[in-house]
Amino acid sequence: MKKIFLYVVGLLLIAGVAFAWLLFGPGTGFNGDKKYLYVRPGNDMQQQVQAQVDTANLFSFPAIFKLAANNAGVWDKLRAGRFEIKKGASIVTVVRMLRNNTQSPVKLVINKLRTKENFARQLGKNFSFDSAAAMNFLSSNDSLLALGVDTNTVFTLLIQNTYFFNWYTQPLTVLERLKEEHQKFWNETRLQQAQEQGLTPEQVYTIASIIDEETNKQEDKGKIASVYINRMNKGMLLGADPTVKYALRDFALKRIYYKHLAVESPYNTYKYKGLPPGPICIAATSTIDAVLQAPKTDYLFFVANSDFSGYHHFSNSFAEHDKYAKEYQRALDDLIRSKQTQ
């Protein structure tokens, strides 16, 4: 009898150790470094998790996970979101993560994008809502009203940076967070600089967006800004080629011809005086600062240098500008011909 008792105790100990190993030892069943478990709000959140456990090979022993989750009260605590399961994680670790709502944030990197469609696609790749829902939000003045912008000026809220959000964050909350960064960026110093240039922050941003489409040379950006500011102050057309490309939605254009200048659009600054209705891309912070710190010049024109260095020649008279513009056009024609004969 004693032997039987010891045998049973031994079996129970072995079973206990084995069960503890299943709970606290490496429990994942997939081969990669990690997998994500996605939970949307609703009455079926438990079913969502269990379906992914059953189909995505998250655990070597799915039944043990379900047993542990049931006994730990996970389903009453579960919230919508994205949860990262690292390879080798224990079932107890995952259960605690779900019970404590320890979510894995998504990283949103905002850099230069040209259109709301591009931005909507980026949002759709990162969040629970899709690009169509993002585009609907970005295209609705009613939705944007609470943010103090409209469908033309919404990009003025966007400051290039890296942001972290919960996966289930909705469009309005995403934009509200981005607006907070916008408000931090526009500190007293920058607001004062804008006022000294005779511009609003929105105008500064729009000018910066045009400059970012004109050049990558930081040294030229302030001088280009001075040209645009001078032309605006004199009531001249801006005549900015990037705004024509934006109006045509043809960003691959290498050369603007007279036929392109005929496009009917408020973004065509060869037709309409002043700035376009809003930015033509998400502007770099360094370019915004270049506009704010633009030197006082008498420049009214600029053209790319004929050596294709990316730098520009600046003029205060059309005669001088025309001379350098023709020089650039000849160099460009020669370059095109040389490529055609290769």
Burial profile 117-144: b = 16 or more Cβ within 10 angstroms, e = fewer: eebbbbbbebbbbebebbbebbeeeebb
Structure tokens at 45: 């959140």
DSSP β-ladder status, 161-165 and 106-110: antiparallel
Bridge partner residues of 314 (DSSP): 302
More reliable by pLDDT, 30 or 104? 104
Phi, psi of 239 (to 5 degrees): 60, 45
Alpha helices in the chain (DSSP H): 2-24, 45-55, 62-72, 74-77, 91-99, 116-126, 131-138, 141-144, 171-185, 188-196, 201-214, 218-233, 241-248, 285-292, 318-341
- Is residue 22 over pLDDT 70? no
Question: In what helix (H) or strand (E) does residue 163 lie, and over which residues does it extend?
Answer: strand 161-165
Q: How confident is the model at residue 324 (pLDDT cuts 50, 70, 90)?
A: very high
Q: How confident is the model at residue 11 (pLDDT cuts 50, 70, 90)?
A: very low
- Is residue 247 over pLDDT 60? yes
Measure the CA–CA gap between 168 and 320, rounded to whole angstroms.
57
Burial class of residue 46, CB neighbours in 10 A (0-12, 13-18, 19+): middle
Q: What is the DSSP letter of 149?
A: -
Q: Is the pTM of this model over 0.75?
A: yes
Measure the CA–CA gap between 146 and 23, rounded to whole angstroms.
48
**For residue 137, what are the contacts with CB-CB under 8 A and spacing of at least 6?**
143, 144, 171, 172, 175
Q: What is the pLDDT of residues 117-137, one digit of tens each?
A: 999 999 999 999 999 999 999
Q: pLDDT value at position 69?
A: 85
- Is residue 9 over pLDDT 70? no
What does each C-alpha distance from 296 to 45, 201, 280 come to in angstroms?
61, 19, 25
How many CA within 13 A on the CB side of residue 126?
22
Q: How confident is the model at residue 23 (pLDDT cuts 50, 70, 90)?
A: low
Find the mean pLDDT for residues 241-256: 93
Burial class of residue 57, CB neighbours in 10 A (0-12, 13-18, 19+): middle
DSSP β-ladder status, 161-165 and 301-304: unpaired
Cβ distance 93 to 144 under 8 Å?
no
Q: Which of 86-90, 153-157, 199-203 has the lowest mean pLDDT?
A: 86-90
Structural domains of the chain ordered from first start: 21-99 (3.30.1490), 106-185 (no CATH), 198-299 (no CATH), 303-342 (no CATH)
